[in-house]
Chain A
Amino acid sequence: MSASTSERLGARTTAFVALSRAILNGFLRDRSSVFFSVIFPLMFLVLFGGVFSNQGQSRVDMIQVGDVALLETMDAETREDFEATFEVTESDDLDAALEEVRAGDADVAIVMDDGVLVAHYTLTDQTKAATTAGALRAFVDGANVGALAEESGADPPFAVRFSSVEDESLEVIQFVTPGLLGWAVAMSAAFGAAATLQGWRQSKLLRRLQLAPVSTRTVVAARIVVTVGIALVQMAIFVGLGVVAFGLELSGAWWMAVPLLVVGTLCFMSLGLLAGAVTKTQEGAVNAANFLVLPMAFLSGSFFPLDGAPGWLQAISLAMPLRHLNDGMIDVMVRGEGPASALLPMGILALFAVVVTLISARLFRWDST
């Protein structure tokens, strides 16, 4: 390397470091951006991870009025299964029990009427009603079969045994950590780019930098490096807190989340640039970034899984980069997919970043007027 080349490289490095430091300080001293990119998403993590995950699937509240043969004749094992589904309280007053069911304080009241088990329930919550009816019927059938078998002395022709396996859907914390992290990174990348572009344009700093011997590339690189650094810190905080406080379990290829986040950051910075390019004020830019990211977070499953969402919604969400970031993050961080599973999302995010950057570059102006 010739002396002048290395000198130029040195000068560029000095400029790059100085710019990065200036941008980082500007970020760290802006309480609202620190709040919105780190604290605010963390509050969601604590909320989802800490509060909701403790509730588990709620059981069906059942009031047993008087003696109910079905319950009395159950063996210990069956009784355990039964209580996994029903939370039984006993009562002697049928009218009071019905009133409770009507008011929604209990889900079902059972009473024996002439050897027939009568279940009183409402249809307000249809899912619960169906669960209740189905489960009750199953237990009654089971008891009948048992009784018949005992009478005839023969084994029943069919038997069933349930054994639970780890199901495809994830524990709350497993799901929300990657999703909220994706949202947090998307938000801070988009806001950072939008606010910097607008703020610098309005303060004429963009103009002033144009007159300094520093290339656009160096300025952009500094902004990217700072934003990516912030994203990695966000990841460290999220994953650290998830593992330590909420029992988050990372799966094998979780480290692929790092390159995934880097590409995701670039993608959302480009959206921020777009927001900064089409707006005239800093507030406008931040609002536009918000307008892009927040609905996207809902539609991309950052806050709740899309598994149950209708097909058209799923289709829309596939057009959103955040959906692919979330999918990729969940796959590698908690679902235990191999490292290669992050490649497709990364490719899609990169494509988004390139296209949106090209659009923003076309709309770019040095001045606010």
Chain B
Amino acid sequence: MAAIEVRDLVMTYGDLRAVDEVSLDVGEGEFVGVVGPNGAGKTTLLEMIEGLRKPDSGSARVLGEPVWPRNPRLLPRIGVQLQASSFFERLTAREQIRTFAALYGVPAGHADEWLSRVGLDEKADARVEDLSGGQAQRLSIACALVHDPEVLFLDEPTAALDPQARRNLWDLLSGLNESGRTVVLTTHYMDEAEALCDRVAIMDAGRILQFDTPTALVRGLDAPVRIVVAPGQLGRDEVARLPHVLDAEESEDGTVLTTREPGAVIGHLAEHDLLDGVQLRTGTLEDVFLAVTGRDYRA
């Protein structure tokens, strides 16, 4: 059974089609990432799937249950971290997570464990207003996970985290996913999507343009491979003699050869004993993103 079934979801704000006929299936135990530029409609899509917003049309089911109208049978089985942290005013981190735990009937001790798991032991007695952005985000994630939900929705969970905290969260989420939880997250980091997700949906202007495994997405890109040979090893005439090279240019790293037949080129380099320090640069999700949205991701 699919953990999430989305059919033709549409959400409009005035003239703007924030989500435009999106359909999507996520299998149980799958880890899915949604990437896309600001304003692509990721949050709106997620909030409709969570049952937080009523779609203009279309439908969403999670764990076989309809999400709209508010479905009390479903709520204890899903965990949600909203893009904006949402806390009770003036409570400490510990009081915060214990309150959320109590809403789900989870004992306080279990809640405290979750504080440790996101590395907030030291901040347990700090008020939420006094937490740093990343700490607040970790607390918000812990509050989403405290009742051990079967399906997890995380909206940019690593946006405010430092590299170490980001890695820790990756481990945490991978662990949860390996124990059978379904995870859907949005992110702006391609490396994150590539490292964590079974499948990645690339979203722009309210539509899902591609939805596949990172490998398949990159392969589908059919981008040429770049081979970098250490500087000073290849003369100009040698380059000219190499087969299948579409383009060659000198850079600080060395000679960059562009090819669609990396195997043949590498074989040739090996014959001439030029493999020392050779680097292979294949396409990345970022290239895929660039190709399908027609714009530079970080622009």
User: A residues near B, CB below 8 A?
Assistant: 11, 14-15, 17-19, 21-23, 25-26, 29-30, 199, 203-205, 207-215
Option from A14, A17, A207, A213 in Cβ contact (under 8 Å) with B75: A213
Contacts of B86 in A (CB 8 A): 203-205, 207-208
Given A22-B88, A30-B89, A30-B90, A208 and B82 contact (CB-CB distance below 8 Å): yes
B215 interface residue per 8 A CB criterion: no
Contact of A18 among B75, B76, B99 (CB under 8 A): B99
Q: Is B70 an interface residue (CB 8 A)?
A: yes
The answer to whether the Cβ of B91 comes within 8 Å of any Cβ in the partner chain is yes
Interface pair A211/B78, CB less than 8 Å apart: yes
Given B50, B76, B87, B127, which contacts A205 in the complex, CB threshold below 8 Å? Answer: B87
Give the CA-CA distance A210 to B51 in the complex, in Å: 9
Are A211 and B87 CB-contacts (below 8 A) given A15-B103, A18-B102?
no
On whether the beta carbons of B95 and A22 are closer than 8 Å, the reply is yes
Contact among A17, A22, A204, A211 for B91, CB-based, below 8 A: A22
Whether B88 and A205, one on each chain, are in contact in the complex, defined by CB atoms closer than 8 angstroms, is yes
A203 to B90, CA, bound (A): 12
Q: How far is the CB of A191 from chain B (nearest CB, A)?
A: 14
Identify whether the interface residues of B are mostly helix, strand, loop, or mixed: loop
Residue in A closest to B47 when the chains form the complex, CB atoms? A207
Interface residues of B in 49-82 (CB under 8 A from A): 50-52, 70, 72, 75-76, 78, 80, 82
Most chain B Cβ neighbours within 10 Å, of A11, A17, A212: A212
Chain A residues with CB below 8 A from B52, complex form: 207, 210-211
List chain A residues, Cβ under 8 A from B78. Answer: 211
- A17→B108 CA distance, assembly (Å): 13
- Asked if B1 lies at the interface with its beta carbon under 8 angstroms from chain A, I say no
**A25 / chain B contacts, CB cutoff of 8 Å:** 90-91, 95
9 more A-B residue pairs beyond the given contacts A30-B89, A30-B90, A203-B89, with a C-beta to C-beta distance below 8 A: A14-B102, A15-B102, A17-B102, A22-B99, A25-B91, A204-B84, A207-B52, A208-B82, A212-B75
Residues of A within 8 A of B90 (CB): 25-26, 29-30
Complex CA gap A81/B98 in Å reads 71
> Nearest A residue to B106 by beta-carbon distance?
A14
Closest 5 CB pairs of A and B: A18-B102, A204-B86, A208-B86, A213-B75, A29-B90
Which chain A residues lie closer than 8 Å to B103 at the CB level? 15, 18-19, 209, 212-214
Name the A residues within 8 Å of B31 (CB-CB): none
A-B contact pairs, 21 of them (CB 8 A): A11-B105, A18-B103, A19-B102, A19-B103, A25-B91, A26-B91, A30-B89, A203-B85, A203-B86, A204-B82, A204-B85, A205-B88, A207-B52, A207-B86, A209-B103, A211-B75, A211-B78, A212-B104, A213-B75, A213-B76, A215-B72
**B223 CB, min distance to chain A CBs, angstroms:** 40
B100 an interface residue at 8 Å Cβ cutoff? Answer: yes
Assess the A213–B72 pair: CB atoms within 8 A: yes
In the complex, chain B residues whose CB is within 8 Å of the CB of A23: 88
Given A18-B103, A213-B72: A208 touches B89 (CB 8 Å cut-off): no
B75 contacts which chain A residues (CB < 8 A)?
Answer: 211-213
On chain B, the residues within 8 Å of A212 by CB distance are 75, 100, 103-104
Given A203-B87, A204-B82, verify A211-B50 contact (CB < 8 Å).
Answer: yes
A186 to chain B, nearest CB (A): 22
Please determine whether B98 and A18 come into contact, CB atoms closer than 8 angstroms.
yes
CA distance A23 to B50 in the complex (A): 26
- Residue numbers in A under 8 Å from B95 (CB-CB): 22, 25
Selected from A14, A21, A199, A204, the residue in CB contact (under 8 A) with B105 is A14
Closest to A215 in B: B72
Considering residues B52, B80, B88, B98, which has the most beta carbons from chain A within 10 angstroms of its beta carbon? B88
Given the complex of chains A and B, what is the CA–CA distance between A211 and B89 in angstroms?
A: 18
A199: contacting residue among B72, B89, B104, CB under 8 A:
B89
A205 CA / B140 CA spacing, docked (Å)? 11
Interface residues of B in 167-198 (CB under 8 A from A): none
Nearest CB in chain A to that of B51: its residue: A211
Nearest CB of chain A from residue B246's CB, rounded to whole Å: 50
Which residue of the partner chain, among B84, B89, B104, contacts A213 with CB atoms under 8 Å?
A: B104
Residue contact B50 to A21, C-beta cutoff 8 Å: no
CB distance from A344 to the nearest CB of B (A): 38
Complex Cα distance, B99 from A19, in Å, reads 7
Interface hub of B78, B82, B99 (most chain A Cβ within 10 A) = B99
Q: Which residue of B lies closest to A218 (CB)?
A: B103
What's the minimum C-beta distance from A49 to chain B, rounded to whole angstroms? 33
Output the nearest chain A residue to B98 by Cβ-Cβ distance: A18
Which residues of chain B have C-beta atoms less than 8 A from A30's C-beta?
89-90
Q: Are B99 and A208 in contact (CB under 8 A)?
A: no
Residues of B within 8 A of A215 (CB): 72
CB neighbours of B80 from chain A (8 A): 208, 211
B82, B86, B95, most chain A CB atoms within 10 A: B86
A204 proximity list for chain B (CB < 8 A)? 82, 84-86
- Chain A residue nearest in CB terms to B79: A211
Whether A210 touches B70, Cβ cut-off 8 Å, given contacts A26-B89, A203-B89, A205-B88, is: yes
Give the distance in Å from the alpha carbon of A17 to the alpha carbon of B102 in the complex.
Answer: 9
CA distance in complex: A212, B104 (Å): 7
